Amino acid sequence: MGYLLDGAWHDGAEFAGANGEFRRKASSFRNWVTADGAPGPTGEGGFRAEAGRYHLYVSLACPWAHRALIMRRRKGLEEIVGLSVVHWHMAENGWTFEEGPGVIPDMINHARYLREVYLAADRNYTGRVTVPVLWDKERGTIVNNESSEVIRMFDSAFDQAGAETGTTYPEALRGEIDRVNARVYDTVNNGVYKAGFATRQSVYDAEVARLFESLDWLEARLEGKDYLVGDQLTEADIRLYTTLVRFDPVYHGHFKCNIRRIVDYPNLWRYLKALYALHGFGDTTDLVHIKRHYYTSHRAINPTGIVPVGPDIDYS
Ligand SMILES: N[C@@H](CCC(=O)N[C@@H](CS)C(=O)NCC(=O)O)C(=O)O
């Protein structure tokens, strides 16, 4: 755990704000790969979608990076966008490429620590060194390190560069997808972190209450339905999936989100199992990296680093 300040690495975590709440800092590289290289919604242009030009850095443990991994597989981008996978253990040096099962070393920047990739893009970088990272081999820089934007690029920018067609962000459903995403992001995807890293009882109590209100709302929403928005798989499902699949194995115990488990919700459990079975979902879910990462990396909330054996869950 640590961060870069003017290009220098500092060990230590500043999770809590003054009131004991967890604050997630905004991502800092916000350019977009587009079909023709025109600027996207933010940042500068010059990042045209091309096979072989871009490289994705992920952790298999991280729910934000997992979104990008699902989209990369589902859009048939595995031959088009390269991949490196960090080691699950994030300690005093942040994410590393230490050898281990499932780790894919960095053959692009030959980094030992992920921070070297950030420094290759900006040698005076200040901020957290997070995954996912989308790297441009041609310009030698980070295009974007915000997962919600990386999945939008993967969804459409590469369609003429050899990707599978089909979108998870169809025009007619965008308003509804955005509304669902907003609540799910704040109270579920990030909600589990806000509960887990709270350092005051009242903050934890409030965040857990908000999280379970949203899970109850999702449970009702999925009654008689296979997907969150419309009757097709959308980005909203991908964004919810990566939190749901980590919930019972990690967030329920490690982050103390334990009013109910996902298996206790008939609709959410049916929905989670159905998504798990789809191409790109279960086959990108690595419960070994997931459990080891959380339980061994967050020593402030699990000082022994012991990884629990259970729960015994069969997602298939
Ligand atoms: N807003 C970012 C968040 C990414 C993020 O926080 N990733 C975590 C792993 S789950 C990370 O790399 N944390 C390292 C750190 O904060 O030092 C996104 O969605 O892409």
Q: Which two tokens stand for residue 153?
A: 């690029």
Q: Does the structure show a pLDDT above 60 at 50?
A: yes
3-state secondary structure 130-165: CCCEEEECCCCEEEECCHHHHHHHHHHCCHHHCCCC
Strand positions, DSSP E, the chain: 2-5, 8-11, 54-58, 81-85, 133-136, 141-144
Average pLDDT over residues 55-62: 98
Beta-carbon count within 10 A of 130 CB: 23
- Which of 130, 194, 295, 299 has the most ligand 1 atoms within 8 A of CB, as the residue to mutate? 130
Sorted by where each starts, the structural domains of the chain and their CATH numbers stand as 3-161 (3.40.30.10), 171-283 (1.20.1050.10)
Q: Tell me if residue 257 is catalytic.
A: no
In sign, the C-alpha dihedral spanning 187, 193, 196, 198 is: negative
C-beta 67 within 6 A of ligand 1: no
C-beta 190 within 6 A of ligand 1: no
- What is the pLDDT confidence band of residue 18, given thresholds at 50, 70 and 90? low
- What is the pLDDT confidence band of residue 11, given thresholds at 50, 70 and 90? confident
Task: Name the residue at shortest CA distance from atom 5 of ligand 1.
Answer: 130
Q: Which atom of ligand 1 is nearest to the CA of 150?
A: 20
C-beta 131 within 6 A of ligand 1: yes
Is 146 marked as a binding-site residue? yes
The strand pairing partners of 22, in sequence order, are: 16
Q: Cα torsion at 217, 212, 210, 24 (round to 10°)?
A: -110
Q: Does the structure show a pLDDT above 60 at 14?
A: no
- What is the pLDDT confidence band of residue 17, given thresholds at 50, 70 and 90? low
* pLDDT tens string 161-193: 999 999 999 999 999 999 999 999 999 999 999
Query: What's the pLDDT at 245?
Result: 98
Entry pTM: 0.96
* pLDDT tens string 136-163: 999 999 999 999 999 999 999 999 999 9
In this structure, are residues 269 and 244 in contact, taking their beta carbons and an 8 Å threshold?
A: no
Q: Tell me if residue 315 is catalytic.
A: no
C-beta 146 within 6 A of ligand 1: yes
